[in-house]
Homo-oligomer: A and B are copies of this chain.
Amino acid sequence: MKILVDTLGSDLGALEIVKGALSASKELEYTPVFLGESEFLSSELKNEKNYEIVSANEVIENNEEPAFAVRRKKNSSIAVGATLLKKNEADGMFSCGSTGALLAAGLFIVGRISGIERAAISVFLPAANGHVLLTDCGANMDTKPDMLVQFAIMGESYARLVMGKPEPKVALLNVGAEEGKGNLSVKEAYELLKSRDLNFIGNIEGRDLFSGAADVVVADGFSGNIALKTIEGTATSLMKELKEGILSSYKSKLGALLMKDVLSKVKNRLDYRSVGGAPLLGLNKPLFKGHGSSDERAVHNGILQLGKFIERDVIKNIEEKLSANLGGNNDA
């Protein structure tokens, strides 16, 4: 197995990426194909054996218009990687660079799975029993109900094959648990989801996202992103409040010292970034987005996930699920 590892565009620099990729190779049999500054990489990797280097010097910044940047910066690590992926010169790609650029390169260079209209960004949230996959988290702002069904099919395959959930419970992000709730698009998606070969458990509210009631939560990219960033805002605000409270007296400082392990566990738990990334589902090659501030451990975890994504052939499974689902239905 060959995995393209983008060493550019991450907050902590190329070295963390290299270290994470090498450390992952102790658990996953693969050859990392490092994309980035070849001189730096050659020097860092001089004692290693099993690797390749592909030179790519341009970085696509987060503030650039993704589609435009991917077309213009032909020598960017993301564009170079996507082109190699398209040519079947690797089995998957890992990047901590711009999500938008990775998605754009995925759509314009790699291409979509046949029958999938849109690719989705899928993020793991901490739940009572492991993780829940929220999809889409921001790739698609205006979605048709059919697209939500496609997100459900993709998320279900990923949860089953990579996240180890034997029969993933699929739910629709909504404003109420009862059938008939929500906006027109979600109501129609509910009807479509009921009729498909999925373990569809109905609607889920934001207040139950962490309960473990669902393994896959389907949303349009607008409301999925609102939910994701609201989690971040709430958790940050709470931790800030807690920190200020702790610093306000000697008594509470002492208390916090005794509770140190608990506090750091809680802090890590609600940091959805700790899982190490997000698969881009809907593209016809495995692409995995690591968080921009991924450290060695996060890169390690992300690459192991990508390894499973490749090994268990999630894309083929989505294609099969899709044709089985489409077979019984005319409206998709």
Contact = CB atoms under 8 A, between A and B. Distances in A.
B226 A226 contact: yes
Interface in A257-300: 257-259, 261-263, 265-266, 269-270
Interface residues of A, number: 55
Interface stretch (A111-119, A230-238, A301-309): A230-238
A209 B222 contact: no
A255 to B, nearest CB: 3
A207 interface: yes
Contact of A270 (B227, B237, B246): B237
Contact of A230 (B126, B227, B254): B227
Interface string A164-187: 000000000101000000111010
19 contacts: A126-B237, A138-B175, A141-B175, A173-B226, A175-B229, A205-B229, A206-B227, A207-B232, A210-B233, A230-B231, A234-B270, A238-B238, A238-B269, A241-B269, A242-B266, A245-B259, A254-B258, A255-B257, A258-B258
Interface of A: 126, 138, 141-142, 173, 175, 182-184, 186, 205-211, 220-223, 225-238, 241-242, 245-246, 248, 251-252, 254-259, 261-263, 265-266, 269-270
